[in-house]
Copies of this chain bind each other. A is one copy, B any other.
Amino acid sequence: MVTRSSDHGLDASPEMPAEISGLRMTRQRWEVYRLLMDQRDHPTANDVFMRIKDRLPNISLATVYNCLEALVQHGVIRQVNFDRESSRFCPNLAEHGHFHDKLSGAIHDVVFKPGVNLADILDLPPGTLITDIEITLRGELPVS
């Protein structure tokens, strides 16, 4: 007898855990999470909605928003904003910024050179508590 990951008839290769970082997993949350892990091109909520229809044809856009919000709230993914465009979502939890290439439209993760600590190079009053940093760059990557 073949083991089957769920009763839905759809095969969800990696088994769905009961929870991630304290967030109870549901079929919808799990598929949203898996999509972000598999397609790391910083999709918008609507991108996720359209792409996920293969696996969850009945999901609603509101649920995609709810899932994304829950995942962000529990620190499982990050929400990334460029100007006032639609929010984008990113499963890379390491400290990093984002580079928006004007030529291709693609968004790339950017990290600091080793040993660099942003808080050290900013001129802030002593005792300032930094809870969150966001770095956004725009420009053109070399054509290569």
Taking Cβ atoms with an 8 Å cutoff, the residues of A that contact B are 79, 81, 83-84, 87, 97, 99, 102, 110-113, 116, 121-142
Contacts and interface: CB of A to CB of B under 8 A. Distances in A.
A118 B122 CA distance: 10
Q: Which of A122, A132, A138, A142 has the most CB of B within 10 A?
A: A122
Given A83-B81, A84-B81, A127-B142, A133 B137 contact: yes
Label chain A's interface by main secondary structure: strand
Nearest to A131: B139
Contact of A139 (B112, B123, B128, B137): B128
Q: How many copies does the complex hold?
A: 2
A138 B132 contact: yes
A131 B102 contact: yes
A111 B137 contact: no
Contacts of A83: 79, 81
Contacts of A129: 139-142
Nearest to A120: B113
A123 B142 contact: no
15 contacts: A84-B84, A97-B122, A99-B128, A110-B122, A113-B122, A113-B123, A116-B121, A125-B141, A126-B142, A128-B139, A130-B138, A131-B139, A133-B135, A135-B135, A135-B136
